[in-house]
Structure 1
Amino acid sequence: MNKNFKKPVILLLVSFLTLSLLFSFATKNDKLFAIAKNLDIFASLVRELDSYYVDEINADELVTIGINAMLEELDPYTEFIPEENSDDFRMMTTGEYAGVGALIGNRIGSNMILMPYKGFPAQSAGLRIGDEILKVDTVNVVNSLTSDISKLLKGPANTNVFVQVKRGTDTISVNLTRKKIVISNVPFYGKLDDQTGYIKLSDFTTNAASDVRNALVDLKSQGITRLVLDVRDNPGGILKEAVDIVNLFVPKGKEVVRTIGKLENVNSVYKTTKSPVDKDIPMVVLINERSASAAEIVAGALQDYDRAVLIGRRTFGKGLVQTTVPLSYNAQVKITTAKYYIPSGRCIQAIDYSQENRDENGNSISIPDSLRKEFKTKNGRIVLDGAGIEPDQKTESKSFAPITYSLVARNLVFEYGNKFFLENEMISNPRDFVVTDEIYADFVASLEGKDYDYTTYVEKTLDDLEKYALREKFFDDIKPTIEDLKKKVSHNKEQDLITFKFEIKEALREELVSRYYFQQGIVEASLVNDEDVIAALGILSNPAEINRVLTASAK
């Protein structure tokens, strides 16, 4: 249909429907009348803007902005999904799409492959991290948006796509056959020591429970007698997968979560339906501030049944249920319809989920315990609602020096990864590989002439103090002191490269490992000096301590 013809037709249809609502409900329900009236006003407004506004307007864009602004007044998770975004939404919820199996993005001014997924067309054809994408089929994409390149790479399964990339000074061309891409929810599992298994669960898309089950069964066949389940940085996903994962460790017939909302048809109780794989194996679940939704259900349910010790930091606090409802013209809306309640009866949703009351990382600001209700686990331990899931053993979040942030943010670590990969055909396995002093010296040499300046936290504080002193007319009195402090704390990049050598080496190590062992290698390499993993190994090696933590006397 002609676009210019389609727009007024849509507006007329909206007006007709809203007028019909007006006449149908005016005498029946004041609330429905108010909805119909305001819909009619909205449609009239857009129609008049289209007719009289001095410049041409984009009705689709204006309406979408209006819809999104309206939904922002409700909660962060009620979301409008226009037709053109439906494929991306399906991939987020199912983990499935048809394409070449590679994450792409813009680095150092070029569109590059950031991660080829192991076993899929891009990786199988030899494409690697850092390959600059030059052409897709006949389209030159050097100056294209990453999102546009992504669309070109995707397509129906079993269709062909030509890709040309630049690697160093070489130009490489490959013909790929698109495949249905199903990204594993378990990017890595393995043994931390002879007795301890480890499973990294990164998502809750389709087959998450099956992925965890397969990993658990394999680890048990290798003789593990204890387990670490890692749901840190897991944003959640499909509820059923969360229930089935809990069922791997909890007997049949146990309640995992219930949903309670305004309408009766959204109220449900979800219980375990199968015999568990192992209901006795000592467990630790790792959580952090970016563990959300289904990840919180798994961690919270296992905590409520005193089935696992939780180590890490308080979770995100996302306990709202979304239901996807189809709209006209193939659009959809994801509506919050209920809240999650785990076995103890507590709700994992943060008391205040408005964006204004979250920090710069999206985490809810601390909620006073006086506003939270007490509940009890199976063994009688006190747990609180209203702010996500609290760990049984808290660890501190990892922080990095400003120089490390600068080197990573300015893609200097990434650039060195490209250089190193071109010069070294292979490295040892992810756990054994170390960034030697020779490699580190080569990295430092690669920084020559490159900008990676930064401001330390103390320097910024002194700058702020100077501004306030000038504003409040105290500067002359404290000027000598401020200048003396600035001299003492003034950072030296060369010295910082020595002082923070260990953590810069760790950033380099993960980057270099990713070139040879992909996503799986990054996870495995990160475990070596992981404080949470070290804490998990400590408690799992002490059955008496596990028993102490999981009993009421622990609180």
Structure 2
Amino acid sequence: MTFFNFFKHSVFLILFYSLAGALLPAYAKTDSEKQKLEAFFKDLESFTRVFSDIKQLYVDDVDNKELFDNAIKGMVTGLDPHSNYLEPKEQKDLLESASGKFGGLGIVIGMKDDSIQVISPIDDTPAYRAGIQAGDLIVKIGDKPVRGMTLEDGVDLMRGEPETEVQLTIVRKNKKPFVVNIVREIITITSVKGYLLEEDIGYIRISSFQNPTAKLLKETVNKLVKENDRYLESLILDLRNNPGGVLDSAVDVSNLFIDKKGLVVYTEGRIPSSNLKFKTEPGDIMLSSPIVVLINEGSASAAEIVAGALQDHKRAIIMGATSFGKGSVQTIIELEDGYGLKVTTARYYTPSGRSIQAKGIEPDIALKNISLENEKEESVIGDAKEKDLNGHLEVEDDPSELSSEEIIESQENKKEEQDKKTIEKLKKDYFVHEASNLLKALTVLNKQ
């Protein structure tokens, strides 16, 4: 350390201790408060000493702003996996995700030890189609190991221009590490899909909770009622691998099925503004008909709020596996120059007072992930035809021979055929199969 730098550091410390001496009697009234304030200044001294040493000794000259930004990031990310110091682009991306349209692979992720963990793949996205599963650990992105990265670093590497490829090295339970190549695309989420599983039994899948989700859910129920020619006698609400989303959306969705006074969810934090109660608004669109909610380890956050609310109000039977356990509230604070702070400010509690955080929602009926289909080895070449290949070109009628009415009818027929395939696939889904059997039994009991 040069004499000049030593002099600067010493001057700072003299000013520092003078400030500490002035503040101690003014703000510390008790011995305990004095000790806390002394400890605070000691920690602040350590920080300034490290800052000074880096400025003087590090191999490259580092800009002050870069050092302060890194210090803030470390301070915030060290709190929990969900608190972040957001740069302008990250803040913009966060707002876009709430609207239901954003770029990337289509996975919700978090940090676990030195890996990035997949909380849930989002339906009909590149990651979902590539077979990425909840619980997968991403250990390498391209040729860069994840170890030592922040979550934001990982997100930046996975995001990119649409139609470009990214390579992920995945570790999955009971499997050797394997590589998946995924092509990025603009992610546009249709958060609600519904099918008439069979007469009087509706099936609705909510893949994430965004601003329009409750409205779409109500429209989907009305569509199924019209298709059924009468009110549905029961409903399967599928929240598996739903990573959550907007809190208000979860509250609105819950209120579509609850018909009595009470709470949907409440939050508790250290400051009064973090202590909130979200009340029910009577008006059950299913008219008290039985509901089964499906959850698994990929159901998180807003999905857990809905499952917990319907479970506590005895409005639905929860089936599946214990959910992820993401029961904390993040508040976004706008900072200067487009920066933001996402910080955990409270915990979620179900109406009966159960904490979701790190515990999750336990199902009323636990199910194992069993396949109802006979798994057969299929010939890779053998009888394979062009129509069996992924991405094959469809048969195309000569447009000159088709009227606009015929084109519309053709499109409707294709959709109807696709819906039939989806329903057949759902009937072979063990979770859906068990939920359907339970609902049939409950419907019979209700009619007696």
| CA deviation after TM superposition for structure 1 residue 282, in Å | 1.2
Relative to structure 1, is the Cα distance of residues 94 and 195 closer, same or farther in structure 2, using a 3 angstrom cutoff? same
Given candidates 408, 417, 429, the residue that maps to 1:530 is 429
Q: Distance in 2 between matches of 1:320 and 1:196?
A: 34
Does 1:28 pair with 2:27? yes
Q: Which residue of 2 aligns with 1:194?
A: 199
Does 1:314 pair with 2:322? yes
Does 1:539 pair with 2:438? yes
| CA deviation after TM superposition for structure 1 residue 298, in Å | 0.7
| CA deviation after TM superposition for structure 1 residue 390, in Å | 1.4
| CA deviation after TM superposition for structure 1 residue 276, in Å | 2.9
Given candidates 33, 50, 57, the residue that maps to 1:52 is 57
The equivalences for 1:499-514 within 5 A come to none
Q: Which residue of 2 aligns with 1:147?
A: 159
Given candidates 361, 366, 375, the residue that maps to 1:394 is 366
Q: Which residue of 2 aligns with 1:470?
A: none
Relative to structure 1, is the Cα distance of residues 535 and 253 closer, same or farther in structure 2, using a 3 angstrom cutoff? same
Q: Distance in 1 between matches of 2:423 and 2:17?
A: 61
Given candidates 201, 206, 230, the residue that maps to 2:238 is 230
Q: TM-score, normalised by structure 1?
A: 0.51
Given candidates 160, 171, 189, the residue that maps to 1:183 is 189
Q: Distance in 2 between matches of 1:255 and 1:531?
A: 32
Relative to structure 1, is the Cα distance of residues 211 and 321 closer, same or farther in structure 2, using a 3 angstrom cutoff? same
SS of residue matched to 1:543: helix
Relative to structure 1, is the Cα distance of residues 221 and 422 closer, same or farther in structure 2, using a 3 angstrom cutoff? closer
Relative to structure 1, is the Cα distance of residues 231 and 115 closer, same or farther in structure 2, using a 3 angstrom cutoff? closer
SS of residue matched to 1:197: strand
RMSD of aligned alpha carbons: 4.2
Q: Distance in 1 between matches of 2:100 and 2:367?
A: 31
SS of residue matched to 2:160: helix
User: C-alpha deviations, 1:467-514, integer Å up to 9, x for none?
Assistant: xxxxxxxxxxxxxxxxxxxxxxxxxxxxxxxxxxxxxxxxxxxxxxxx
**Residue type matched to 2:435 in 1?**
A
Q: Distance in 1 between matches of 2:86 and 2:348?
A: 23
| CA deviation after TM superposition for structure 1 residue 35, in Å | 4.9
Relative to structure 1, is the Cα distance of residues 74 and 421 closer, same or farther in structure 2, using a 3 angstrom cutoff? closer
The equivalences for 1:50-449 within 5 A come to 50-57=55-62, 63-96=68-101, 147-150=159-162, 183-186=189-192, 188-223=193-228, 224-251=232-259, 253-350=261-358, 387-398=359-370, 419-422=389-392, 424-425=394-395
Q: Which residue of 2 aligns with 1:410?
A: none
Unaligned runs of 5+ in 2: 1-12, 108-123, 127-156, 165-185, 377-385, 397-414
SS of residue matched to 1:343: coil
Q: Distance in 1 between matches of 2:387 and 2:75?
A: 45
| CA deviation after TM superposition for structure 1 residue 229, in Å | 0.5
**Residue type matched to 2:47 in 1?**
F
SS of residue matched to 2:354: coil
Q: Distance in 2 between matches of 1:397 and 1:305?
A: 27
Q: Distance in 2 between matches of 1:294 and 1:226?
A: 23
Aligned length: 328
Relative to structure 1, is the Cα distance of residues 89 and 193 closer, same or farther in structure 2, using a 3 angstrom cutoff? same
SS of residue matched to 2:391: helix
Relative to structure 1, is the Cα distance of residues 40 and 289 closer, same or farther in structure 2, using a 3 angstrom cutoff? same
2:234 and 2:443 in contact (8 A); partners too: no
Q: Distance in 1 between matches of 2:17 and 2:389?
A: 66
| CA deviation after TM superposition for structure 1 residue 220, in Å | 2.0
Give % identity. 36
| CA deviation after TM superposition for structure 1 residue 237, in Å | 1.7
Relative to structure 1, is the Cα distance of residues 48 and 523 closer, same or farther in structure 2, using a 3 angstrom cutoff? farther
Q: Distance in 2 between matches of 1:115 and 1:246?
A: 26
Q: Distance in 1 between matches of 2:87 and 2:224?
A: 43
Q: Distance in 1 between matches of 2:348 and 2:201?
A: 32
Relative to structure 1, is the Cα distance of residues 68 and 417 closer, same or farther in structure 2, using a 3 angstrom cutoff? farther
SS of residue matched to 2:281: coil
1:82 and 1:330 in contact (8 A); partners too: yes
**Residue type matched to 1:296 in 2?**
E
**Residue type matched to 1:28 in 2?**
Y
| CA deviation after TM superposition for structure 1 residue 250, in Å | 0.9
Q: Distance in 1 between matches of 2:22 and 2:337?
A: 24
2:104 and 2:158 in contact (8 A); partners too: no
* Further displaced range: 18-27 or 246-255: 18-27
SS of residue matched to 2:392: helix
1:232 and 1:291 in contact (8 A); partners too: yes
Q: Distance in 2 between matches of 1:184 and 1:147?
A: 20
Q: Which residue of 2 aligns with 1:155?
A: none
| CA deviation after TM superposition for structure 1 residue 296, in Å | 0.9
Q: Distance in 2 between matches of 1:534 and 1:195?
A: 15
SS of residue matched to 1:192: strand
Q: Distance in 2 between matches of 1:345 and 1:237?
A: 22
2:265 and 2:309 in contact (8 A); partners too: yes
**Residue type matched to 1:543 in 2?**
L
Relative to structure 1, is the Cα distance of residues 34 and 94 closer, same or farther in structure 2, using a 3 angstrom cutoff? farther
Relative to structure 1, is the Cα distance of residues 418 and 284 closer, same or farther in structure 2, using a 3 angstrom cutoff? same
**Residue type matched to 2:395 in 1?**
E
| CA deviation after TM superposition for structure 1 residue 328, in Å | 3.7
**Residue type matched to 1:254 in 2?**
G
SS of residue matched to 2:433: helix
Q: Distance in 2 between matches of 1:530 and 1:243?
A: 28
Q: Which residue of 2 aligns with 1:465?
A: none
Q: Distance in 1 between matches of 2:421 and 2:335?
A: 41
